[in-house]
Amino acid sequence: MTHFDGHEAIWVFGYGSLIWKAGFPYLERRPALVHDMSRRFWQGSHDHRGTPQAPGRVVTLIDEPGAQCLGMAYRIAPQTLAPLDLREKNGYLRRVVTLHFVDTDGSPAGSREQTAEGLVYIAAADNPAYLGDASLTRIAAQIAEAHGPSGPNSDYLLHLDQALRDLGGPDEHVTLLARELRERMPDPG
């Protein structure tokens, strides 16, 4: 929690809704990768994309040697962490990671800074909202039915799928779930 105390700016890595919906002020925004981690719809959402009675599913990161996760890095002022901590309160904790900046085609960032230390919010398996692995069919069914204060869970999945395509790096787990959802909900929005 105090790793970046005294810094004038901090990098934060977004790999879910933060890719397309920052909702906070930032100084700079750049596509980036984190290594040895994969994005998975294994975290329950009781407060944004579902309810306590019918939780939705949102993404977290799991450790996976050799994997890469594409997302968006934001350079923020330290006071921006307070609203982010509130937004990510449902089981997410901060973790320090190395960000590898890329161009939108996925290639290294050229002559600009190539890496930086930053924070990422991860929901580990020991938090009460963690749902864990399930079949794509079961995850898609839960996403299709869930709705919370931030809207339908299906919107979250479809926006994430599109945002990753726009970045030039579709994620197989997200793509397969989106396909499964579209088959289940012919007009998901």
How does pLDDT run across 125-167, given as a tens digit for each residue?
Answer: 999 999 999 999 999 999 999 999 999 999 999 999 999 999 9
CB atoms within 10 A of CB 54: 13
- DSSP assignments along 76-132, one per residue: E-GGGHHHHHHHTTTTEEEEEEEEEEB-TTSSB-TTS--EEEEEEEEE-TTSTTB--
pLDDT at position 174: 98
The pLDDT mean for the chain works out to: 90
Q: What is the pLDDT of residue 113?
A: 66
Band (pLDDT 50/70/90 cuts) for residue 47 is confident
Mean pLDDT over 17-27 rounds to: 93
The span from the CA of 59 to the CA of 3, in Å, is 24
What ranges do the domains of the chain cover?
Answer: 10-184
Q: Rounded to two decimals, what is the model's pTM?
A: 0.89
Q: Are 115 and 100 in contact (CB under 8 A)?
A: yes
| Residues with catalytic function | 88
Residues 52 and 104 sit within 8 Å (Cβ to Cβ): no
Judge: domain 10-184, CATH 3.10.20.740. no
Mean of pLDDT values over 87-104: 88
